[in-house]
Amino acid sequence: MTSRDVYINGDLPVRKAKPVRLRGASLREVDKHSSRSSKSSDVYIPTSPEQYFPAMTQQRRMVIALDYGTTFTGVAYGFPSNNLWEQHDIRIVKDWGGPGMHDKIPSVISYSKIENDEMQWGANLCPEAVAMVNTKLELDVQDRKIDELELILDALDGMNNLHFDVSIATKGFSDYTWKKPEQVATDYLTKVFECVKKTLAPFGEKVISELPVDIVITIPVKWSYRAKNSTLRAVRNAGFNEQSFPGLRDTIMATEPEAAAIYTARYLKEKEGTDFLREGQCFLLCDAGGGTVDVVTYRVKKLEPKLELESLTLPTGDKFGSIYIDHQFKKWLHRLLGRHYSQLDPASVTQKISAYATEGGHMRLLMMEFDRLKKQFSSTSKDYKLDLPEPLNNLTTEGVTEGEFVITNEDMRSFFDPCVEGIIELIEAQLLQVERKGKRVKTIFLVGGFGESQFLQKELAFSMRLRKIQLRRPDTSWTAVVRGGCLYGIEKDDHKNVAVAKTYPRSYGVMLYAGFSGGHHRRKDRYDDAITGRAMANGQLTWLISKGDLLLSDEPKEEQREFGFNFREHDDKKISLQIFEYLDDDVPESYHTVKDELTQVGLLQCDFSNINLAEFDRFENAKTGRPYYTAMCVCKATISEDAVKFEILWNDVQMCSEFIKDVPKKTANGGHFRDEKATI
DSSP states of 511-523 as a string? EEEEE--TTTS-G
Residue 118 lies in a domain: yes
The number of folded domains in the chain is 3
pLDDT of residue 588: 86
DSSP state of 591: H
Exposed, middle or buried: residue 222 (CB in 10 Å: 0-12, 13-18, 19+)? Answer: middle
Domain stop point among 465, 492, 519: 492
Select from 368, 390, 415 the last residue of a domain: 415
Beta-bridged to residue 62, according to DSSP, are 213
| Sign of the torsion angle spanned by Cα atoms 356, 479, 205, 232 | negative
What's the whole-number average pLDDT of the chain? 80
- Distance from C-alpha of 536 to C-alpha of 675, rounded to nearest angstrom: 38
Question: Who has greater pLDDT, 663 or 484?
Answer: 484
pLDDT tens-digit readout, 68-127: 999 999 999 999 886 666 666 799 999 998 777 899 999 999 888 877 777 888 887 877
Whether 386 and 295 share a structural domain: no
E runs forming strands in 424-490: 441-447, 470-473
Give CA–CA dist 244/235, Å, rounded: 12
Last residue of a domain, one of 467, 492, 517: 492
On whether the CB atoms of residues 285 and 298 are closer than 8 A, the answer is: yes
Residue at 551 is within a domain: yes
Q: Both 601 and 530 in a single domain? A: yes
pLDDT of 172 higher than 50: no
User: Are 53 and 76 within one domain?
Assistant: yes
More confident residue, 641 or 147: 641
**Within this chain, do residues 674 and 535 fall inside the same structural domain, yes or no?**
yes
Q: What is the CATH number of the domain that holds 654?
A: 2.60.34.10
**Could you tell me if 405 and 549 lie in one domain?**
no
The CATH number of the domain holding residue 47 is 3.30.420.40
How many Å apart are CA 158 and CA 309, to the nearest integer?
51
Half-sphere exposure of 403 (CA within 13 A, CB side): 13
What does the pLDDT read at residue 448?
93
Residue 642 burial (CB count, 10 A): 13
Residues 264 and 401 reside in one and the same domain: no
pLDDT at 608 over 90: yes
pLDDT tens digit sequence for 119-152: 888 887 877 788 878 888 888 864 444 455 555 5
334/277 same-domain check: no
Give per-residue pLDDT as tens, 507-548: 899 988 788 887 777 888 888 888 888 888 888 889 998 887
Taking the mean position of all CA atoms in its chain, how far away is CA 404?
Answer: 37
Cβ partners under 8 Å of residue 65, min gap 6: 75, 76, 77, 215, 216, 217, 218, 259, 482, 483, 484, 485, 486, 488, 489
Query: Residues 279, 330: one domain?
Result: no
pLDDT at 308: 81
Q: Tell me, yes or no, whether 513 lies in a domain.
A: yes
What 3-state class would DSSP assign to 537? strand
Q: Is this model's pTM higher than 0.85 or not? A: no
Q: How confident is the model at residue 169 (pLDDT cuts 50, 70, 90)?
A: very low
pLDDT of residue 51: 53
Asked if residue 610 and residue 598 are part of one domain, the reply reads yes
Q: Is residue 435 situated within a structural domain?
A: no
Q: Is residue 27 part of a domain?
A: no
Ranges assigned E (strand) in 93-229: 105-106, 109-110, 131-132, 213-219
Select the more confidently predicted residue: 507 or 29.
Answer: 507
Distance CA 352, CA 161 (A): 9
Please report, for residues 70, 102, 480, 531, 619, the alpha-carbon distance to residue 570 in angstroms, rounded to integers and kept in the order given: 59, 74, 68, 12, 15
- Between 97 and 188, the more confident residue is 188
Residues 6+ apart with CB under 8 A from 57: none
Q: Does residue 550 lie in a domain region? A: yes
Q: Are residues 125 and 221 in the same domain?
A: yes
Cβ pair 537, 516 in contact under 8 A: yes
Q: Mark whether 315 and 327 lie in a shared domain.
A: no
- Is 421 contained in some domain? no
Average pLDDT over residues 604-621: 93
pLDDT greater than 60 at residue 654: yes
The pLDDT score that the predictor gives to residue 529 is 86
Maximum mean pLDDT: which of 44-58, 437-451, 529-543: 437-451
Q: What is the mean pLDDT of residues 285-293?
A: 93
H or E element at residue 75: strand 72-78
Cα–Cα distance list, 3 to 7, 444, 485 (Å): 10, 18, 26
Instruction: Give me the pLDDT at residue 680, please.
Output: 22
Lowest mean pLDDT among 6-20, 451-465, 595-609, 642-656: 6-20
| Nearest-angstrom CA–CA distance, 528 and 513 | 12
Residue 222: per-residue pLDDT: 86
For residue 549, give its domain range.
501-679
What is the model's pLDDT at position 44? 43
Whether 256 and 327 share a structural domain: no
Rounded (5°) CA angle 124-366-21? 130
How many residues does this entry show for the chain? Answer: 680
The pLDDT value recorded for residue 469 is 93
**Chain segment 366-425, per-residue pLDDT in tens:** 999 999 999 889 999 999 999 999 889 899 999 999 999 999 999 999 999 999 999 999
DSSP 483-501: HHHHHHHHTGGGSSS-EEE
Nearest to 133 by CA among 291, 358, 346: 358
Taking phi first (over 0 means left), then psi (-120 to 50 degrees means alpha), and beta for anything else, what does residue 668 get?
alpha
Residue 303 CB coordination number (10 Å)? 16
Task: Report yes or no on 107 lying in a domain.
Answer: yes
